[in-house]
Amino acid sequence: MATFMTSSKVRQEKYDVFVSFRGSDTRCGFLSHLRKQLQLKGINVYDDERSKRGDKISSALSEAIQKSRIALVIFSKDYAYSGWCLEELVIIMEYNRVNNQIVIPVFYDIDPSHVRHKKGSHEDAFVQHHNNYKVDLRK
């Protein structure tokens, strides 16, 4: 496990890579192949397959994000429909801002401009969240 100095604290890393993904889009195909290949290379991968679903991100999941060297965000067609995924992304980006965690976006079966400019399914997802008030859009 690597050790880093961050803002006068020593941070113990527990995982090499934290993977944020929308399960219905990627779990049985892309993610399972990616996970297998990373593990074959000796890369310690955390994905939230282990976590129970709830309304809010658990402190254990937040800690897993913070204790990972790299956050791999797999943007897919339905990623933005998941309030859970968006909450993970907020934590990942905040940790990137504060502690320079490496964030690698992967665009799976979606045009990157749809994510960047909230178009297509991502636009539809944010409209749905706005109408349902499930996600704090300020984040």
Q: What are 53-87's pLDDT values in tens digits?
A: 554 667 888 899 999 999 999 988 888 888 888 88
Q: Is the pLDDT of residue 40 over 90?
A: yes
Q: Is 63 a catalytic residue?
A: no
Name the pTM for this structure: 0.75
CATH of the domain at 78: 3.40.50.10140
Choice among 13, 49, 63, 88 that is catalytic:
88
Whether 53 maps to a domain, the answer reads: yes
Q: Name which residue leads in pLDDT, 89 or 120.
A: 89
Q: Report the DSSP beta bridge partners of residue 73.
A: 20, 105
Residue 102 placed within a domain: yes
Identify whether 49 is part of a domain: yes
> Is residue 22 within 8 Å of 82, Cβ to Cβ?
yes
Range of the domain at 116: 11-132
Each residue's pLDDT tens digit, 90-117 = 899 999 999 999 999 999 888 888 777 6
Instruction: Specify if 85 maps to a domain.
Output: yes
The answer to whether position 6 is within a domain reads: no
- Domains in the chain, number: 1
Distance CA 66, CA 95 (A): 7
Q: Which two tokens stand for residue 134?
A: 């499930």
